[in-house]
Structure 1
Amino acid sequence: MAKMGSRKHLKRFKAPKTWPIHPKEDTWTVKPSAGSHAINKSLSLTLVIRDVLALADNAREAKRIINSGNVLVDGRVIKDYKFPVGFMDIIEIPKTGESYRILLDTKGRLKLHEVSKDSSKLCKIVNKTTIKDNKTQLNLHDGKNLIVDADEYDVSDVISLNVANNEIDEVFKFGEGASVLVTGGKHTGEIGIISEINVDQSSNPNTVIIENSKKDTFLTLKDYTFVLGNDKPSISLLEANK
């Protein structure tokens, strides 16, 4: 059998197109560890500190900043320089007082958007199960699991999670009139209002019709929608979504 080569390292020109880095500036980049986000939907913490925020000139300096406990992800100190951070994660730099939310632009690239320090995190419910004592476990898009007493949540709903105490502040229901961000397909990064939901009982996935701010409509898969609010976005977004 032919040798597959190293899977611990990643060359820049093979990096996912969702990464906001130039493919030919250097030879190598830092591959994220296996974790809550897929490699094409996440950035390593070193890449964020060095390449995106420019808080370090090289990987060694970035590792020193991370190992010193100067970076928080969703309210937790992270010291793994390969830790994967992805869509909607909140990154905090206590020494500079800055906080960032990871969003998608219209080209499908992961971007950091500065937010206030006490910002809540939006998490999409991708599955739910009933567990012991008739409680409900919510499985979220970022790999987190949340146990709730009342089963008042549906798959595709989005919760506003307070990362400080891991409690739900608000829930945004998936349905007509909801404000959504498209996270996949050719309309990635576009924002609009759900005007119609097409439910198909066959093996085909359900689709939705979305109306954007220009009153134009387009069709996309239900799985590609991420609810931002009941009738308007509940969070600040990228300027002009660029």
Structure 2
Amino acid sequence: MANMGSRKHLKRFKAPRTWPIHPKVDKWTVKPAAGSHAIEYSLPLLVVIRDILKLSDNSREAKRIINTGNVLVDGRARKDYKFPVGFMDVIQIPKTEGTYRVLPDAKGRLTLHNIPDENANFKLCKVINKTTIKEGKNQLNLHDGRNVTTEEDISAGDVISLKVPDQEIAEVYEFSKGSLVLVTGGKHTGEIGKINDIVINDSSKPNTVVIENDKKDTFITLKDYAFVIGSDEPVISLPGGK
């Protein structure tokens, strides 16, 4: 059992706080495979099917659903029950006609937000960094582990609308004053507002942003926590109809 727990399973009480599961329902849960998202920012598919969507009563049934190719992540069938799904990923279950985007709630937990079909063919991806490769093209390294190449001048911090599963860049949303952002970490997780100011620190302190919400209240959060979701209006469906 110890070996099983270290490789495929995880004690529930040790599961990340971002997972919306009860720590005392069972002793073990599934450990996500290494992949596009870090463990604290991802959920294994089995947990999504069994514990969140409750499409199965146990892990055996959940594995069967997943193994038959009935679960799509970003437009591709995923048959590994440990496959990690994370922030902004699109999950589709054609047999139930369910389509969801992974988003954080106000407590920082990953949740599945039911989205309209027209939102299912793209996802927003934040540019973590970029490198110049041959022929003057730029390789963008994205928050979900993807790498895409482009001739466009896109900066780290910007967010791209990426068609899935084609991985074509449809739109670019700059990280700049006036941009609409979703806060992805800290005590303001889940809040939405516009960037009032970007504070670049010369010291070892992290860079921050000043955000104004729709009530005209302002707050400060880390620059890394500000994820652009549009200009005047959000380009994705959000909980609460925002």
| TM-score, normalised via structure 1 length | 0.94
Alignment of 1:164-203 (within 5 A): 164-203=165-204
What is residue 134 of structure 2 aligned with on the other side?
132
Tell me how far 1:20 sits from its aligned partner: 0.6
% identical aligned pairs: 64
- Please name the residue that 1:143 is paired with: 145
CA distance in 1, matches of 2:165, 2:175: 25
1:73 equivalent in structure 2: 73
Residue type of the alignment partner of 2:173: F
**Structure 2 residue aligned with 1:29:** 29
* Structure 2 runs not aligned, ≥5 long: none
SS of match in other structure, 1:106:
coil
Alpha-carbon separation, structure 2, partners of 1:175 and 1:139: 19
The answer (yes or no) to whether the contact 1:97–1:117 under 8 Å persists in 2 is no
Q: Is the 2:180–2:232 Cα contact (8 Å) retained in structure 1?
A: yes
Partner of 1:214: 215
Corresponding residue for residue 157 of structure 2? 156
Match of 1:7 in 2: 6
Root mean square deviation, CA, Å: 1.6
Give distance in 2, aligned partners of 1:126 and 1:107: 24
Q: Deviations over 1:187-239 (max 9, x none)?
A: 11111111111122222221110011221111111011100101221111112
Q: What is residue 18 of structure 2 aligned with on the other side?
A: 18
- Post-superposition shift, 1:7? 1.9
Write the distance in 1 (CA, Å) between the matches of 2:21 and 2:219. 30
Say whether residues 1:54 and 2:54 are aligned partners.
yes
The one-letter amino acid of 2:228's match is V
Contact 1:178 1:232 in 2 (8 A): no
Does the alignment pair 1:64 with 2:64?
A: yes
The 3 A distance-change label for structure 1 pair 50 and 92 is same
| Contact 2:5–2:11 (8 Å) recurs in 1 | no
For residues 213 and 104 of structure 1, what CA distance do their matches in structure 2 show?
19
In the TM superposition, what whole-angstrom CA distance separates every residue of 1:116-146 from its partner, at most 9, and x where no partner exists? 2342100000000011121110000000000
2:192 and 2:182 map into 1 onto residues whose CA distance is 5
Aligned mates of 1:96, 1:230 — CA distance in 2: 33
